[in-house]
Amino acid sequence: MSVYCGMDRAALDAAYNNSAAVKDSTKLLADFQARSDGLRAARGRHLDLRYGPAERNRIDYFAADARGPVLVFIHGGYWQMRAKETFSFLAAGPLAHGIHVACIGYTLAPEATLGGIVTEVRAAVAWLAEQVAKFGGDPARIYVSGWSAGGHLTVMTLNEPAVKGGLAISGIYDLEPIRLCYVNDTLKLDADEARRLSPLLHLPRSSPPLIVACGDDELPELQRQSETFAAARMNAGLPGRLVRLAGHNHFTILEELARADGTLTALVRELVGV
């Protein structure tokens, strides 16, 4: 029986199972963690800064060597897995160009609802706007980025007053297929919440620039999400564009932010003007 766009539940589950689609995803994540451990050991002066009362309401702030713009990074994991500590390695690319990086932690489902997660992440961005000057960041130049579920959360924070632009990587912008597949077994979205928290269904009248990026080796549904959302923003006259990265899947695309000469790092530099 079709549950979404001609797919039955098994097909829809497979269409959003990034870990299963990338056979060496476990190895890649282990490598991410090892490299993150190294960066945290080298540049961990401002770890676990608390922005709220919940256990995971913490931020790792990696300061550049001089005053400069700040990139806020929001990790993925379908709002129910992973942690900021695994993605510290991504700071290396922006830091090489004098861009400060703040990695946000947030409560995972099912302990938190998706609405609660959005509220936490917005609170983290607001906290950073008040605090980054203490660490050498420029509060007038704060930008948001995130991967997978973090791409969704990037868009959900784009209208925070301090945010000047964003880079959403391999994100989810229409939650209806998420509500109907295995991801929702833990997330527990109902139809109303899925509609309310889908960026595709709530395009603003104005927006800071947003670059939407995805890999051309990602699952077709992930590519479709990015293509549809970027096209909707363009048709609404909102600034930004879609960037497709050749030869990258849902996990390897992050190498383009971790490297100083990576494509995603170049897009961040374009956004912040360095």
Q: Give the domain CATH number at 222.
A: 3.40.50.1820
Whether pTM > 0.95 for this model: the answer is yes
pLDDT, tens only, 12-50: 999 999 999 999 999 999 999 999 999 999 999 999 999
The stretch 122-146 carries a mean pLDDT of: 98
Is 79 within the bounds of a domain?
yes
pLDDT, tens only, 204-255: 999 999 999 999 999 999 999 999 999 999 999 999 999 999 999 999 999 9
Mean pLDDT of the chain, nearest integer? 98
Please tell me the predicted confidence (pLDDT) of residue 229: 98
Please tell me the predicted confidence (pLDDT) of residue 193: 98
Query: What is the Cα–Cα distance from 3 to 135, expressed in whole angstroms?
Result: 49
Is 143 within the bounds of a domain?
yes
| Angle, vertex CA 178, rays to CA 177 and CA 183, nearest 5 | 140
Report the b/e string of 151-161 with b at 16+ CB within 10 A.
Answer: bbbbbbbbebe
User: 261 is in which domain, residue-wise?
Assistant: 9-272
Give 67's pLDDT tier (boundaries 50, 70, 90).
very high
Please tell me the predicted confidence (pLDDT) of residue 143: 98
The residues near 235 (Cβ < 8 Å, ≥ 6 apart) are none
Is 1 within the bounds of a domain?
no
Is 2 within the bounds of a domain?
no
Residues linked to residue 167 through DSSP beta bridges, in sequence order: 145, 211
The stretch 171-183 carries a mean pLDDT of: 98
